[in-house]
Amino acid sequence: MKINKIILSFISAVAILLSTSVVSFAKVVGDKIVLGAAISLTGKYSSNGVHTQNGYNMAVDRINSMGGVKVGGKTYKFEIIYYDDESNPKRAAQLAERLISQDGVEFMLGPYSSGLTKAIAPVTEKYGVPMVEANGASRSLFTKGYKYLFAVLAPANLYLDVAIRTAVELNGGKGVRIAQAFEQDAFSQDVRLGILDAAKETGSEIIIDDKLPKELNDMAATLVKVKQMKPDVLVVSGHTKGALTAIRQIAEMKVDVPMLAMTHCDAAKLSKQHGKNSQYALCASQWHKSLTYKDEFFGSGMKYAADFEKEFKYDPPYQSAESSAALLVFKDAFERANSFDKKKVRDALAATNMQTFYGNIKFAEGGQNVDKPMVLFQVMCDGAGKCENKVVAPLKWASAKLIHPIPKWSDR
Amino acid sequence: MNKNLVLYASILVFGLAAPFIFPAFKVQLSILCVLIILAVTWNIQGGEMGYNSFGNILFYGLGMYLCASVQVGMFFPLAEWTESGGEKTFVHTPTQFFQGMAVGLVVAAVVPTIVAGLIGYSILGLRGHYFAICTLGLGVAAGEISGGIEIIGAGQGFTTPPFPNVGGLEARGEFFYFCSFFALVFAFITVRGIYSTRFKLILNAIRDNEDKAEAMGIETMKYKIIGWMVSAFFCGLAGGIMGGLVGYIDSTDVAFDGREMGVFMVLMAILGGKGTLWGPVIGATVFHIFKEGFWTFFLGWQYVALGVLIVIIVIYFPEGIMGWLREKFPERFGEVVDEADRKAQVELK
């Protein structure tokens, strides 16, 4: 059996390959703090992955150009190692392992979406690597007892809670009839749980409760039911594709519904892509540029939006803003810890209490940000067909009055 | 025989030492073991029996969900574990974790085997393209259905029990590496064993001409089902290990991942050379190395690079790496070559 020789030489080739490819850089090289991130550059979350990456890059450039991070009297600059997780949790977990054990990363930034964050969190937790994440909102992330996970955003179940309460209020305090359709993924299903809670508390009734597939490009079946049953509120959530599909088909099928509540309108650039068809859509958002929070790096939300637009040629969705905020949180924590010890940085992160252009940040025991409310904006168009997102709730931040009910398609 | 022993012993030693020689690559090596298991067992259908199954992913996903469910369900209420809004935090003690994992893996291997036996009778009656399409449907359907079952987390996904705090930082990686390595050894020995019996000849007979095999008095259905059950057993086992390794199960992206794992197992077997014992092993290894390399050096273009690789394989190595080697060096495969015959072939070209 000469074939054995072939196989043996093959195995030794593999062994040599493995042993020569161990590259390990430390978390802090020279004057650089190396952060690791697995981002969805391809796959179903690729557009939001890019929003996230742009947010990270924007903040890295800004912080580095404004003097960097001062630890122990020395100035350091941020640098990020990116990998593409292909929107796949299995891949994300593998990459987290790789960033930590092969690339020697000791501080992580989060991926895009709750599902991927769920896959990465067990790994970072095991190695005691602090992770500040900006795009994993699912409530179950914060009930697993993770000690090294910090999220700058409000949990997913709060996303459309306000919308339901507003609808009930406008209905004279009586419960409303809700139709809802959610993508089969961790984030959207959590938004759904939030709606269920809100419905229970307000005595509202859920008359349609549909699930949408992950490769979302058709929800006509749900919309046909909506046309028949005439609910007071239609809730749709399914990341960027969900928002785009909903608006496209609602306009095509001329579905009349008094209130349409969604997520990811800004990430999907609805007002640009669908113009007047997206008018009156009500969207949950972690952030809006018109909010009046401030910090020394980006100034205000308006200024951040202008700078972002200049660099990336589009209006920043909240996914980018919250990602930028994650780096501000890291910088602040490093400086307060005055050390690169993982445990000390973790403790400093836990004690975070700051304001950024994106909002106030203060972490609860489970790691979620408890100091920042969600906002609702509505897509509003002027006579010329130019559409904009205007904050309508909560009242403290509102820059426009909610238009309710949505005019019928025949009257538009 | 002597040389064989040297070969297997050196592989075994390499496998046992690998996580300590290349500690940074434990996860990749564990995944490699799982990939090899999937490729080797797919080869029983696709290579030896001539039934191109896209449904083996069903057993893999089933094993994954079963192992995790058993591991949780043995000690805590499963529904509360997977409920997203639940405020309770459950923590496995080390004993609970390992006990759960052990029982979970047994269930993960046995139940898919039974399932394969039950559905095999109807599905293996189909042939050719019909069989391929039907099995493709199996994986897709399983993904959609499991995405709607609340008790295993539905669309929320299922976080498997975190590894207990024992044995330091490297313990988790080592544990899952040895799980997958021993599963691989077990799978390889079993498959090698059955390939040395009449069973393999029967599978080959089915591949070459099923009707003739039947006419010769072979109960083809029985052997087809048994072959599928063997595959299901190891796919389920591999799935159970992979679930623990990834730490998070998503219905369509991790468990019933027909688009990736389901296709990869076919690709790896073909790359290495289907219908051989070693082909899938080599195919999986080469595939994994190339894939990891592309991910590092062609970020954003990795699938384009992978596509180019597949095109190259199809054009230049249609019989896979083993097939190509066999053609080049037939003597090394113990084939007797007639010199005159070879010359005649060269002249023909």
Shortest Cα distance, chain A CAs vs residue B311, angstroms? 21
Q: Is residue B199 part of a domain?
A: yes
Contacts of B346 (CB under 8 A, 6+ apart): none
Residues of B in contact with A188 (CB under 8 A): 155
- 146-175 in chain B: CB under 8 A from chain A: 147-148, 154-157, 159, 162-163, 169, 172-173
Pick from A4, A42, A46 the residue to mutate for testing the B interface (most B CBs within 10 Å).
A4
| Distance, CA of B273 to CA of B259 (rounded, Å) | 21
Q: What ipTM is given for this predicted complex?
A: 0.81
Percent of chain A with pLDDT over 70: 93
Count CB pairs under 8 A between chains A and B: 165
Q: Is residue B159 part of a domain?
A: yes
Cis peptide before B161 (omega within 30 of 0): no
Shortest Cα distance, chain B CAs vs residue A117, angstroms? 10
Angle among Cα A251, A252, A258 to the nearest 5 degrees reads: 35
Q: Is residue B348 part of a domain?
A: no
**Element at A377 (helix H, strand E):** strand A375-381
| Distance, CA of B186 to CA of B164 (rounded, Å) | 26
- Furthest CA-CA distance within chain A: 86
Pick from B21, B84, B146 the residue to mutate for testing the A interface (most A CBs within 10 Å).
B84
Domain containing B165 equals 2-318
Q: Does A44 touch chain B (CB under 8 A)?
A: no
Residues of B in contact with A16 (CB under 8 A): none
| Distance, CA of B293 to CA of B20 (rounded, Å) | 22
Nearest residue to A37 via CA among A161, A169, A162, A133: A133
Instruction: State which fold the A28-153+291-362 domain adopts.
Output: Rossmann fold (3.40.50)
DSSP code of residue A183? E
CB B255 within 8 A of CB B61: yes
Q: Is residue B149 part of a domain?
A: yes
Q: At what angle do helices A239-253 and A186-202 cross, to 10 degrees?
A: 60
**Element at A34 (helix H, strand E):** strand A32-39
Amino acid code (one letter) for B339: E
CB A190 within 8 A of CB A114: yes
Q: Is residue B177 part of a domain?
A: yes
Token pair, residue A217, equals: 């490009």
Nearest CA in chain B to A97: B27
The answer to whether the Cβ–Cβ distance between B163 and A138 falls below 8 Å is: no
CB A337 within 8 A of CB A347: yes
Token pair 């029990």 is at which residue? B161
Q: What is the mean pLDDT of each run of 10 residues along chain B (349 residues)?
A: 81 92 89 96 93 94 96 90 68 91 97 96 91 93 89 85 82 93 96 93 94 93 95 97 91 88 90 90 92 78 82 84 84 72 64
Shortest Cα distance, chain A CAs vs residue B123, angstroms? 26
Contacts of A63 (CB under 8 A, 6+ apart): A69, A78, A297, A327, A328, A331
The answer to whether the Cβ–Cβ distance between B333 and A89 falls below 8 Å is: no
Tell me the Cα Rg of chain B.
21
The answer to whether the Cβ–Cβ distance between B303 and A185 falls below 8 Å is: no
Domain ranges of chain A: 28-153+291-362, 158-285+382-411
CATH among 1.20.1250.20, 3.40.50.1950, 3.40.50.2000, 3.40.50.2300 for A158-285+382-411: 3.40.50.2300
| Distance, CA of A166 to CA of A173 (rounded, Å) | 9
DSSP code of residue A187? H
Residues of A in contact with B331 (CB under 8 A): 2
- 59-98 in chain A: CB under 8 A from chain B: 82-84, 87-90, 93-94, 97-98
pLDDT per residue rounded down to tens, chain A (412 residues): 456 666 666 666 665 665 555 444 556 777 899 999 999 988 889 999 999 999 999 999 999 999 999 998 899 999 999 988 888 898 899 899 889 988 889 999 999 999 899 999 989 988 899 999 999 998 888 887 889 999 999 988 889 988 999 999 999 889 999 999 999 888 898 899 899 999 999 999 999 999 898 878 899 999 999 999 999 999 999 999 999 999 999 999 999 999 999 999 888 888 888 888 999 999 999 999 988 899 999 999 999 999 999 999 999 999 999 999 999 999 999 999 999 999 999 999 999 999 999 999 999 988 999 888 899 999 998 888 888 899 998 888 888 899 988 999 988 8
Shortest Cα distance, chain A CAs vs residue B295, angstroms? 8
What is the domain count for chain B?
1
Residue-wise pLDDT for A345-373, tens only, equals: 999 999 999 999 999 999 998 899 988 88
Three-state secondary structure string covering A266-291: CCCCHHHHCHHHHCCCEEEECCCCCC
**Element at A389 (helix H, strand E):** strand A387-393
| Distance, CA of B67 to CA of B243 (rounded, Å) | 8
DSSP track, A68-121: -EEETTEEEEEEEEEEE-TT-HHHHHHHHHHHHHTS---SEE--SSHHHHHHHH
Domains A28-153+291-362 and A158-285+382-411 share a fold: yes
Q: Does B27 touch chain A (CB under 8 A)?
A: yes
Residue-wise pLDDT for A369-389, tens only, equals: 988 889 999 999 888 888 889
Three-state secondary structure string covering chain B: CHHHHHHHHHHHHHHHHHHHHCHHHHHHHHHHHHHHHHHHHHHHHHHHHCCCCCCHHHHHHHHHHHHHHHHHHCCCCHHHHHCCCCCCCCCCCHHHHHHHHHHHHHHHHHHHHHHHHHHHHHHCCCCHHHHHHHHHHHHHHHHHHHCCCHHHCHHHCEECCCCCCCCCCCHHHHHHHHHHHHHHHHHHHHHHHHHCCHHHHHHHHHHHCHHHHHHCCCCHHHHHHHHHHHHHHHHHHHHHHHHHHHCEECHHHHHCCHHHHHHHHHHHHHHHCCCCCCHHHHHHHHHHHHHHHHHHHCCCCHHHHHHHHHHHHHHHCCCHHHHHHHHHCHHHHCCCCCHHHHHHHHHHC
**Element at A8 (helix H, strand E):** helix A3-20
Q: Helix, strand or coil for residue A134?
A: coil
